[in-house]
Copies of this chain bind each other. A is one copy, B any other.
Amino acid sequence: MKTFRTAASLRTYLDTVPGLIAFVPTMGALHDGHVALIRAAGTTHDLIVASIFVNPTQFNQATDLVAYPRTPREDALLLAANGCDVLYLPSEEDVYPEHYRDPTTGLDFGPLVEVMEGAERPGHFDGVAQVVYRLLDVVRPVTLFLGQKDYQQVGIVRSLVRQMKLDVAIKVIPTVREQDGLALSSRNRRLSEVERNAAASINLHLKAIASCVRANWEPRALEKRALHELTRHPLLAPEYVSIFDGDTLQPWREGQAAREIVVATAVHCGPVRLIDNFIVRTT
């Protein structure tokens, strides 16, 4: 695996290599969820490029940015072992050079960013759009691989691609989970053992909600009930539970046609804030 620390050197190298490029952007502290993205990319592309960059502009809490786990050495080994060809490991200055003019400024994500993570983390998705645009501009892949765990992020990136008329396909890979259902997340390593067990129940709640939606339980009353039940756990503090249309990300109402219905939640557990989602049904 080749490692590049600057956009210029990476770009120079990529220009010499023929074939289809897959791109897997990450913030490092890699786990099997990232591995699933790398492996999926490998089955259909000639060259796999991964990036590790803890993007400060998408953090809305300075403490979260500082506490975000960083394990570059282990990450590089894991990437290489799973077939990654190129690692882009830039500094903040390389991603956002002085006088960088961000073309995503002024993009309008409309209602997509008014709900869930957008409502709870002001500015978060502007930062996501900014960094994804910048990385795509450097790597120029044919396909961008994203994880389903950040379901809303996928919607924002789709909108970014559409608004900026970028020529890249988006491939979403299902969430990888621990045996007990806990969605893999770099933040999980900050949980104590009891917190870890509490966090595992988040997936059980999402599955329960999905079962109820399939039995035609009223979505708004169900969200309220689920929020109440999550709150009853002494170690969990949920921010929201949303049953939504996967395309619009807006609350799904009974009888409303939808390609995909999804339930998502954000839950504080100990020192971290965890998100997870579960697809209720796809038509």
Q: Which residues of A contact B (CB under 8 A)?
A: 201, 204-205, 207-208, 210-212, 214-218, 221, 225, 229, 232-233
Contact = CB atoms under 8 A, between A and B. Distances in A.
Contact of A214 (B204, B210, B214, B232): B204
A229 B233 contact: no
A163 B168 CA distance: 74
B204 A218 contact: no
A218 B212 CA distance: 15
A176 to B, nearest CB: 21
A2 to B, nearest CB: 46
A216 B210 CA distance: 15
Contact of A201 (B207, B216, B225, B233): B216
Copies in the complex: 2
The prevalent SS among residues of A at the interface is helix
Contacts of A210: 211
Given A212-B212, A217-B229, 19 more contacts: A201-B216, A204-B214, A204-B216, A207-B211, A207-B214, A207-B215, A208-B208, A208-B211, A208-B212, A208-B214, A208-B215, A210-B211, A211-B211, A216-B232, A216-B233, A217-B225, A218-B229, A221-B225, A225-B225
A233 B211 CA distance: 17
Contact of A212 (B211, B214, B216): B211
9 contacts: A204-B215, A204-B216, A207-B215, A208-B212, A208-B215, A216-B229, A216-B232, A217-B225, A225-B225
Contacts of A214: 204, 207-208
Contacts of A233: 216
Nearest to A225: B225
Contacts of A205: 215
A232 B208 contact: no
Contacts of A221: 225
Nearest to A213: B208
